[in-house]
Chains A and B, each alone.
Chain A
Amino acid sequence: MKLFPAAPSDPSLGVILLVHSSLARAAQVARHWAESGCPLVIHVDKAVSAQEHAEFRRALAGLPDILFAPRLRCEWGKWSIVRATQAAAEIMLESFPEVRHVFLASGSCLPLRPLADLRAYLERRPQTDFIESANVEEVPWIVGGLGQERFTLRFPFAWKKQRRFFDAHVRLQRRLGYCRRIPEGIVPHIGSQWWCLTRRTLTAILEDPRRREYDRYFSRVWIPDESYFQTMARLHARRLESRSLTLAKFDHQGKPHMFYDDHLQLLIRSKCFVARKIWPKADLLYNTFLQTRESQPCPSEPNPNPIDKLFASARERRVRGRTGLYMQSRFPAPGRENGLTCAPYSVFEGFSDLFTDFETWLSRTTGARVHGHLFARHGAEFEGGQDVFAGGLSSSAAVRDRNPRLFLASLIWNMRGEHQAFQYGPDDSPEAGHLIAQDPNARISVITGAWAIPLFHSSLNFNVIRKIAALRQRAEAAHVDLLRSHATRARVRIWSLAEFMENSMENLQIIADTISPRAMRKLTEAPRLANLAGFGKFLQDLKNHGMHPYMMGNFPPDNIQPIRLRPSGARPRIMK
């Protein structure tokens, strides 16, 4: 039904419009194309009700150069959609001889720039076909679907409605080794179904002498609308640019992203010609982009990069989430956490026993937030003895021990941006010891045997001391075994008390450097060493009572040197 014989303006660009839902919006867009002087061939899906179709036709009445293709029922992923496109293209080429480029669009595509721009763009590239077309064997273009197998298997079942049968049938064919023959001479290519082809190429595709054979083959390929023209264009195109002029983004499941009103600025800046899919209720987008604009033609190239980046980050967020965050939205199954915590942190064992002011010293020299024993049995010792720490974490042992893992993850998450350090020892909950050992973000430094120092200073009955020492030694030995095992993913440094004392300043320097590696300043101040006069004799006493303390290493009896600053010279070696 051609209403007006003559086109009002330059009819070099023809548009094929495939419409199946949101007809009011589609009519709006069709009107826009038509008023800009584009000949249109519209295919309305047969599933659209007669009433809606009549309304749609009424909305477009009186516009020049609109033709309607015979209506077919187009099912997703089926041949009929290609068939409808072919029929529309035939009508287009036959009825509008002046058309030099044919643009395939859907009812939910929205032109973002004046069509004069697009026409001028195509005029500068009269021989070029714009169709995304990737060799299916070489490029993993497909998101969440079949690749090469689209072309070699059979698909009698609908993927959307009969998923089980579809999957089972694919599995069966794989097992049987079934493989369709691909017609000679064609190399399967795949790409976005929205293209813009030259009259020459499109004619060649439609008038190919082997078209019947190709059509028969493609009619049983899965999702042929993403491969028929893409493959055929490779046979006939003179200059093929493998990209689509239509901006379309897909999520990790290959489902199209919607554009909403708040994407307005982004879309304007992208300078793309056409975008999809537009959310039908995005009034602002429709109103902005469909108002007739008499602007000067703008020769700028489309630049979808910012949009690509934004959607890539959203996709990353959806698929990988944020490391170290446990939330209603994200509760990683074991092994899929991509990290237990969100940032590196340090654990010190024995240091606060050996040095009386270790915590204040560490926070002063490194700027880290230094906690006491976070996993002490009586409750979490937050920095400065706070009852409630960042994010509202409670120091209550009951709360912490309900889920120590989440307690630690929350603490590190709440304080992201600042390095956290805490003390751990043989009296603390052994479960926490397992936890930190598994975490690649943990930097654990251990001075074994230092737990004996507070005992040495305590005024308890010697028998009690002896029992406590035995318990602590057993707990620490088990913990150190764990830290040395292959399963441990934390970075671990272990010294015995004696080893540490041999070169204590250098060892402290190593610790300070790992917390703030960029600072790399030489330590000017040492933490205060606990009084160890008589400690060797104390150990000997324990031995004499049958409790052999061995975690301290070979401790020289009564021969403890006070710490001295290391003279300037070679930097200490950083050990992994």
Chain B
Amino acid sequence: MSKAREWRKAYGLRWKRRRLLWRALRKRREMSAVRDRTDAIAPGDVLLFAVVRNEIERLPHFLDHYRRIGVDHFLVVDNASNDGTGPFLAAQPDLSLWQTPHSYKQSRFGMDWLTWLMIRYGHGHWCVTVDADEILIYPYHDERSLKDLGRWLEVQGQQSFGAIMLDMYPKGPIGDQSYQPGDDPFEILSLFDAGNYTFTPQTDIANAWIRGGVRARYFFADRPERAPTMGKKPFVKWNRRFVYMNSTHSLLPCRLNPVHDLSGSMTTGILLHSKFLPSVIGRSLEEKERAEHFAVSSLYDSYYEGIAQNPDFRGPESVPFEGWEQLEELGLMARGGWK
């Protein structure tokens, strides 16, 4: 009986994937190209896909970082920014820009738009899919590029790469810091929670549900089941039939989801999360109004209000960030067999 049921479930997921692809196909009309430089994409290039909204503050460092680790072309969807994000992005030489005024939530948190772009441009490339406040690091990232990493993963038979999102926070109340665009945000956001992550296997899609970090500790200690999901798969050797199912937390087909090993250790990375820059306070009130970020947004009102109260996350257990070797030592990222 279980065989038949498994088969049925697998078939259901296959249809789900097709539905999501179809949805992306329909939603492509919501976007219009502002600057299309996709001709410059060469075979073997590493591409980065992102949806942004009012991120002028983070983008200079974001672009710098990803260029440094070997992203060749950026494909960005601008979702109704009004802080100069659009013109700034359009002026970048290695970036193609689309814009859309439509609902982020209705587009599965931007995933429908990106899925279409990935169908169109990502096929056969290693693709990074991140938000503007997510900085991907991985073992040896200061010497080895994403291409090197991609090749290593291919040799290992891995098509996807896992990374835990690490909520970074400052030494003091979050609103009392000052940040200049272009600076490394992790000079200010230098602390993190090192050892409070939990894992719940999601057997139906071969995924692991990871929660923890400072938001889980500070805002969700009484309802851990609501804490944000921290496990992501931001780097995938893309195929036009693939689709991100739930943000970048999980993928279809399911075989892309296991980024762990059942006895040893796979290579994984970290997404340094620069959410808690000082501007987050104003933003969280705005996001509470927009209600565009969670499926049932009202459940998160107290969370937004908590951020608006300018909290100080620091505690004796906070660990100052020193580099990838430190994160590897702590067990948050892993070299696996990469040496």
Contact with B along A294-311 (1 / 0, CB 8 A): 000000000000000011
Is the pair A398, B195 in contact by a Cβ cutoff of 8 Å?
A: no
Contact with B along A73-95 (1 / 0, CB 8 A): 00000000000000000000000
- The CA-CA distance from A318 to B151 in the complex, in Å, is 17
Contact with B along A329-347 (1 / 0, CB 8 A): 1111100111000000000
Is B32 on the interface with A (CB-CB < 8 A)? no
Is the pair A318, B264 in contact by a Cβ cutoff of 8 Å?
A: yes
Is the pair B263, A392 in contact by a Cβ cutoff of 8 Å?
A: no
Q: Which stretch in A129-137, A253-261, A525-533 binds the other chain? A: A253-261
Contact with B along A381-422 (1 / 0, CB 8 A): 000000011111110101100110011001001100000000
Which residues of chain B have C-beta atoms less than 8 A from A279's C-beta?
148, 151
- The contact of A329 among B145, B151, B319, B334, by CB within 8 Å, is B334
- The contact of A330 among B151, B201, B261, by CB within 8 Å, is B261
CB distance from B323 to the nearest CB of A (A): 14
- The CA-CA distance from A324 to B197 in the complex, in Å, is 14
Is the pair A329, B259 in contact by a Cβ cutoff of 8 Å?
A: yes
Question: Which B165-205 residues sit within 8 Å CB-CB of chain A?
Answer: 193-201
- The CA-CA distance from A231 to B338 in the complex, in Å, is 33
Is the pair B195, A251 in contact by a Cβ cutoff of 8 Å?
A: no
Is the pair B221, A331 in contact by a Cβ cutoff of 8 Å?
A: no
Is the pair A388, B317 in contact by a Cβ cutoff of 8 Å?
A: yes
Given contacts A255-B156, A327-B265, A329-B266, could you give 17 more A-B pairs where the C-beta distance is less than 8 Å?
Answer: A257-B339, A258-B152, A262-B140, A313-B339, A314-B337, A322-B265, A328-B199, A328-B208, A329-B162, A329-B336, A331-B199, A331-B261, A331-B262, A391-B193, A392-B315, A392-B318, A393-B317
Which residues of chain A have C-beta atoms less than 8 A from B194's C-beta?
391-392, 414
- The CA-CA distance from A400 to B263 in the complex, in Å, is 24
Is B214 on the interface with A (CB-CB < 8 A)? yes
Which residues of chain B have C-beta atoms less than 8 A from A68's C-beta?
none
Nearest B residue to A391, CB-CB: B195
Is the pair A410, B221 in contact by a Cβ cutoff of 8 Å?
A: no
Contacts A399-B221, A413-B331; A392 near B339 (Cβ below 8 A): no
Is the pair A392, B260 in contact by a Cβ cutoff of 8 Å?
A: no
Question: Which B305-336 residues sit within 8 Å CB-CB of chain A?
Answer: 315, 317-319, 331-336
Contacts A318-B337, A328-B210; A255 near B155 (Cβ below 8 A): yes
- The CA-CA distance from A403 to B196 in the complex, in Å, is 11
- The CA-CA distance from A226 to B210 in the complex, in Å, is 44
Is A172 on the interface with B (CB-CB < 8 A)? no
Is A317 on the interface with B (CB-CB < 8 A)? yes
- The contact of B338 among A314, A320, A330, A402, by CB within 8 Å, is A314
Which residues of chain A have C-beta atoms less than 8 A from B111's C-beta?
none
15 contacts between A and B (CB under 8 A): A258-B155, A261-B144, A317-B264, A317-B337, A318-B265, A321-B264, A328-B162, A331-B262, A390-B317, A392-B315, A392-B318, A393-B317, A394-B221, A399-B221, A414-B194
Which residues of chain B have C-beta atoms less than 8 A from A321's C-beta?
261, 263-265, 334
B interface list, Cβ under 8 A from A? 140, 143-145, 147-148, 151-152, 155-156, 162-164, 193-201, 208, 210, 212-214, 216-217, 221-225, 231, 259-268, 315, 317-319, 331-339
Which residues of chain B have C-beta atoms less than 8 A from A262's C-beta?
140, 143-144
Which residues of chain A have C-beta atoms less than 8 A from B152's C-beta?
258
Most central of A327, A388, A399, A406 by chain B CB within 10 Å? A327
Is the pair A326, B195 in contact by a Cβ cutoff of 8 Å?
A: no
Which residues of chain B have C-beta atoms less than 8 A from A281's C-beta?
145, 147-148
- The contact of B315 among A257, A318, A388, by CB within 8 Å, is A388
Is the pair B334, A330 in contact by a Cβ cutoff of 8 Å?
A: yes
Most central of B140, B208, B213, B337 by chain A CB within 10 Å? B337
CB distance from A344 to the nearest CB of B (A): 18
CB distance from A264 to the nearest CB of B (A): 10
Is A202 on the interface with B (CB-CB < 8 A)? no
Contacts A257-B339, A391-B194; A327 near B262 (Cβ below 8 A): no
- The CA-CA distance from A325 to B197 in the complex, in Å, is 11
Which residues of chain B have C-beta atoms less than 8 A from A322's C-beta?
265, 331
A interface list, Cβ under 8 A from B? 251-253, 255, 257-258, 260-262, 279, 281, 310-311, 313-315, 317-322, 325-333, 336-338, 388-394, 396, 398-399, 402-403, 406-407, 410, 413-414
CB distance from A397 to the nearest CB of B (A): 9
Is the pair A392, B331 in contact by a Cβ cutoff of 8 Å?
A: no
Is the pair A402, B260 in contact by a Cβ cutoff of 8 Å?
A: no
Is the pair A260, B268 in contact by a Cβ cutoff of 8 Å?
A: no
Is the pair B143, A260 in contact by a Cβ cutoff of 8 Å?
A: yes
CB distance from B202 to the nearest CB of A (A): 12
Which residues of chain B have C-beta atoms less than 8 A from A331's C-beta?
199, 201, 208, 260-262
Which residues of chain A have C-beta atoms less than 8 A from B196's C-beta?
391-394, 399, 410
Contacts A391-B196, A392-B217; A399 near B224 (Cβ below 8 A): yes
Is the pair B198, A327 in contact by a Cβ cutoff of 8 Å?
A: no
Contacts A396-B222, A402-B225; A410 near B195 (Cβ below 8 A): yes
- The CA-CA distance from A310 to B335 in the complex, in Å, is 13
Which residues of chain A have C-beta atoms less than 8 A from B262's C-beta?
331-333, 336
Contacts A311-B339, A317-B265; A327 near B317 (Cβ below 8 A): no
Closest 9 CB pairs of A and B: A391-B195, A318-B337, A392-B193, A329-B334, A314-B339, A414-B195, A321-B265, A336-B263, A392-B196
Which residues of chain B have C-beta atoms less than 8 A from A399's C-beta?
196, 198, 216, 221, 224
Which residues of chain B have C-beta atoms less than 8 A from A406's C-beta?
198-199
Is the pair B337, A252 in contact by a Cβ cutoff of 8 Å?
A: yes
CB distance from A165 to the nearest CB of B (A): 19
Contacts A396-B224, A413-B195; A310 near B266 (Cβ below 8 A): no
CB distance from B143 to the nearest CB of A (A): 4
- The CA-CA distance from A281 to B221 in the complex, in Å, is 47
Is the pair A310, B339 in contact by a Cβ cutoff of 8 Å?
A: yes
CB distance from A553 to the nearest CB of B (A): 40
Which residues of chain B have C-beta atoms less than 8 A from A252's C-beta?
337
Nearest B residue to A403, CB-CB: B198
Contacts A314-B339, A388-B217, A403-B199; A320 near B263 (Cβ below 8 A): yes
